[in-house]
Amino acid sequence: MKTEMKIEIKNVKHSEFASHETDCFEATVYFNGKRSFIASNDGQGGCNRYYPIKGGDQVAVYKQVEKLNKELVKEIIYTEHGTLTNDLDLVIGEMLVTWQLKKRAKSLLRKVCVIAGGRLMSFNISAQAYQRDPSAVSRAIFKKYPDADILNRFVFDIAFEKMDGHI
């Protein structure tokens, strides 16, 4: 029985201003729940770099990345520009995009956010004010936007899912 690979990134440091051809970042990569190695990119184009956690072995990192890429390359990704074989750079790139979107969503949800008329809107009302008196805030919003879906009433993962395509 084949077990599913679980790859995650944590401890992300991202630099928007230094990101030119690629995202400039550094992140810890976890493989099947175990802290494995560091991934980074200087944002000037080119592939990600992978190196060991302090005191680790660079050769072991290369072997692990090579092993992961052998598994990932079995997947074919279809795009509007053609087909690609999957690799660790693409997987980490997708995770980084999701991390950036979640960071943006968390920032937006500090204020009252709604989706109404197919648009994402943020009101100059703090999320804490909404939590103190949700019915008063809801009445004011529904008066102007009867189809509004107030995202602050959901746990983050559901609010983020509802924001899909709007941020």
Tell me the pLDDT tens digit for each residue of 46-83: 999 999 998 888 888 888 898 888 888 888 888 888 88
pTM: 0.85
> What is the spatial distance between Cα 26 and Cα 24, in angstroms, rounded to a whole number?
7
Q: Quick one: angle between helices 88-108 and 58-72, nearest 10?
A: 90
The overall average pLDDT reported for the chain is 92
> What is the spatial distance between Cα 139 and Cα 114, in angstroms, rounded to a whole number?
13
Tell me the pLDDT tens digit for each residue of 88-113: 999 999 999 999 999 999 999 999 99
Evaluated on CA atoms 79, 75, 29, 45, the torsion sign reads negative
What are the beta bridge partners of residue 112?
A: 123
Tell me the pLDDT tens digit for each residue of 117-145: 999 999 999 999 999 999 999 999 999 99
Which of 66, 58, 161 lies closest to 115, judged by CA? 161
Domain edges within the chain: 7-104, 109-163
CA distances, 116 to each of 144, 154, 162 (Å): 10, 16, 12
